[in-house]
Amino acid sequence: MILKDLSFNSPEENILLDEALFVSADKGSGGEILRFWESPTVFIVLGRIGKEQDDVDMAAARKDKIPVLRRASGGGTVVQGPGCLNYTLILAKNTDPVIADLRQSYQWISQKIITALKNSDVEAVFRPISDIALSSNEKKFSGNAQRRGKNFILHHGTILYDFDLTLMARYLKMPKDVPEYRRNRSHTDFVTNIPMDPQVFKRSLAEIFAVKGEENRLETNEQALLQSLCGKANIRLDAYL
């Protein structure tokens, strides 16, 4: 597995790079990857079949000029920005039998996240289908989503560690489907930041997944795929490339 600690300036490129890494691996041109990224700007992103009218206060988003985007994976609608760390895993289905099973893979990966967080003295629990919450009060700080291919899966998640939680109440409606452990709590009562040092967490998770090297740049095929996806979405590539 290769580590890529790589963020772009625009949320669109960050989202599309996850997709490019997944497509590259599933087509046989890439392998397993652990990526970290964080957006310097606030944005809203829907899951693959999410609906703006159901999930987002579009009047508030338009007023504040907050982009509303869509990712290739499932899961719910979230607000992201500074203080929200993203982790992305591109995993081969034949690495472990549990990866081939949707529900088992969520728990398997989440347990590794929980183990890595112990180095920051954060005690957490997995809450199906795809959440991680503090064990003390069951407040959510991590949501996860997947896209599954023939040979690989794309699994990505978020960790709130210094995020402006008021943005969720401002831009997001109460979701129609909520987990039982939420207990009808509002956004501000349900989500929380955790006292985590991002660098400590990154090192811990890299060790858990036995990362063999770090490449904080794109391979030629990855760059080509990202260019193609950005072109289809009419997005200018970041100057980083």
| SS3 per-residue string spanning 194-209 | CCCCHHHHHHHHHHHC
The percent of residues in the chain predicted with pLDDT above 70, rounded, is 95
Nearest by Cα to 161 from 142, 144, 185:
142
Within 10 angstroms of residue 26's Cβ, the number of other Cβ atoms is 20
| pLDDT tens, position by position, 25-52 | 998 888 999 999 999 999 999 988 888 8
The DSSP string of 13-32 is HHHHHHHHHHHHHHTTS---
Between 74 and 111, whose confidence is greater? 111
pLDDT for 241 = 33
Distance CA 98, CA 109 (A): 10
127: which strand partners?
A: 131
The percent of residues in the chain predicted with pLDDT above 90, rounded, is 73
pLDDT (mean) for 3-23? 92
What letters, b where the CB count within 10 A reaches 16 and e where it falls short, cover 146-163?
bbbeeebbbbbbbbbbeb
Q: Domain limits of the chain? A: 2-232
pLDDT for 67 = 92
pLDDT (mean) for 115-144? 96
Whether the CB-CB separation of 129 and 102 falls below 8 Å is answered with no
pLDDT for 234 = 53
Between 176 and 187, whose confidence is greater? 187
pLDDT for 44 = 94
User: 2-232: which CATH number, 3.80.30.20, 3.30.70.260, 3.40.50.1970, 3.30.930.10?
Assistant: 3.30.930.10
Determine the distance from the C-alpha atom of residue 134 to the mean position of all C-alpha atoms in its chain, rounded to a whole number. Answer: 18
Mean pLDDT across the chain: 91
pLDDT (mean) for 186-215? 95
pLDDT for 236 = 44
Distance CA 92, CA 99 (A): 8
Distance CA 227, CA 205 (A): 29
pLDDT higher than 50, residue 120: yes
pLDDT higher than 80, residue 135: yes
pTM, 2 dp: 0.91
